[in-house]
């Protein structure tokens, strides 16, 4: 019985490794973008203006917007770290509780 389980795990392992690495890479990209919002708000704003249409904001509101973007960036970076830990551990091992 044990050898059948091991054979089933070996057959599934390459797909799990692929998806685990893909999730980790995507999360790493999001961490970089989110930390950009936190640490370099002007650069983060320029990056996101490339993705969406730029909006004119009064100069008095820039500080508040950068603060809110920094908070969002820090929280999202934290969540992406959790996603990476899940992808490296339980998800890569094929445990159902990871989903």
Task: Please give the full DSSP string across 60-75, using - where no structure is assigned.
Answer: GGHHHHHHHHHHHHHH
Give the residue among 95, 84, 12 at the shortest CA–CA distance from 4: 12
Give the residue among 45, 51, 99 at the shortest CA–CA distance from 72: 45
Answer whether 73's CB lies under 8 Å from 36's CB: yes
In tens, the pLDDT along 6-43 reads 544 545 578 888 888 999 999 999 999 999 999 999 89
pLDDT of residue 93: 79
Task: Out of 44-48, 79-83, 91-95, pick the least confident.
Answer: 91-95
Domain layout of the chain by residue ranges:
15-94
pLDDT of 2 strictly over 90: no
pLDDT of residue 47: 86
Which whole number is the average pLDDT over 80-94?
Answer: 87
In tens, the pLDDT along 37-77 reads 999 998 988 888 888 887 888 889 989 989 999 999 999 99
Task: Please give the full DSSP string across 14-55, using - where no structure is assigned.
Answer: HHHHHHHHHHHHHHHHHHHHHHHHHH-HHHHHHHHHHHS---
């Amino acid at each position: 019985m044990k050898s059948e389980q091991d054979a089933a795990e070996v057959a599934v392992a390459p797909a799990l490794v692929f998806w685990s690495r893909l999730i980790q890479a995507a999360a790493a990209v999001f961490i970089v973008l989110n930390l950009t919002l936190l640490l370099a708000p002007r650069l983060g704003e320029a990056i996101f203006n490339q993705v969406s249409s730029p909006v004119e904001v009064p100069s008095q509101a820039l500080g508040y917007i950068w603060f809110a973007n920094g908070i969002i960036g820090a929280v999202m970076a934290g969540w992406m770290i959790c996603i990476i830990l899940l992808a490296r551990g339980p998800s890569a091992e094929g445990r159902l509780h990871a989903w």
